[in-house]
Structure 1
């Protein structure tokens, strides 16, 4: 497989949303979105269904228009430009290949619409199909290709026009897990090689965290937080981000005052705004891998499930109606058989706290 860049020297362009608002009947899809994608970076928008991430992508592509605000590409406001004048490549969840065209002709279709001669179209398509690992499949039709191969053709087609911006709308969700993992690595490799600014919309945390330079978490039309993947995971700005990205324990605690919280035998400073004054019930949010655990015959926590996960084993703990997860190295997991008693503690340093979640009816 070729690993050489196939585009001319290409510098990614900045993309900027400024106070973008989009309202549908009964729904505020985007509520003053401000978003900056530095040139050449891949930004993933992550969030639950209906949060506005796909609306943002459609506005950038030109398939819809904002009710307010501006969208700029390379410093130029693109509002009012039709999609075919925005120089953007797009890959959808559905492959949308032409069934009566070969892989080569599918990839060259955009160049054909731009009136490139057949020789240049064929050469460019062949080059791109080699780049995505399909050099042996250039003359096959879509029905002769697997799902992963069809999505590679769709990706090559999006890149054929040398887009200034690449838009990926949940392109991997229809694939099985193994193919999805392989293709996300392939997309990231190509994006880095070509330096194309990319907006990737997904509901899959693992995809977002593993592929993106930055991840923006959306909720109800607004950005809750945008940060590099590790910072987003380690330092979530809000309780919503903390619980939406990765697994998060919510442990019962009590506020000591407006700046510290008491959980078990520990008193810790809090991070962010206080949810209440002294005596306020709260929950402390902590990752399973950060939760400290030790065998303790007098401990108030009990192990009830141990799940092997390779290098680590996840222990499911309970204390009355309260539950928690803790990750321990697998080589010491035998110290925590089901029924074992243990104690837990939190890392030193500021704790993220949130109001208690309402009980299920």
Structure 2
């Protein structure tokens, strides 16, 4: 079908915004806020997800009392066998996002592992053996100041947004206490929700072969601790914000405990402290490439001393937060983010 047939309407965007705030809320609770009927909203969402223009998913990356090991990895490559390379990276459960970019790197990855040793194992037994890879640069994430699930379409009024804040199903911020260790049954729950965070408790229990009451208790425990991150995301090419840019930047202030104001910019999707020659990674979404200079100026004006060292435009996103995207940017399927499994070595000379 022509791409125009998959365009999101204003009503579609309102549903997506509501689910970004309360991704597991029942349609019956969302209906009064969106001034619609529950069955109408359910049909609309079914059409949106069938087209792949938006989705709800879940990430649960914590492995116990310590946070996961997250990193941005620049992959330096020759030009040959790029399709094989991108396919292998897309199927990797540890590689959450795969971007082809401008600049002197061929690909940019966002990855997650339980610990540094498993990241090192992955670099030596998988990434270094990919066809055409000549080197990698790894930037460990030391703090996440803003993550992708907090980005909003902003289609609802402030009054509508306020009515959604306390609805059941709204993701909670991580608490100050220790995050509970993920048991094997917890991991199965996380992987089931990765494809569709709106799965009912009954369906989750059926898939795992457990009782609804036990599944509900497990889900509440993981949500209340902040272990689970539910998110709703429109496909960028259909969201009205089709251009993605990643920047390496330097801040003279190493301690960013006080969240800088640029975190709340409309264009900011992710803002992280990283290791390496630059101490910040900033991911942006823009309405057009022409907006990039003005956005960069705004970043530097709102955060005195900020220096943008490098910026690169995403030419194609193969995978985003475990969701596989087709050439036209629509979601086609999910690769379960089983970050706890050991990396499977690739054969040499692939």
TM category (shorter chain) comes to under 0.3
Of Structure 1 and Structure 2, the greater helix share is in 2
TM-score (norm 2): 0.23
* Structure with the higher strand share, 1 or 2: 1
Q: Which has the higher contact order (CA 8 A, sep 6+)?
A: 2
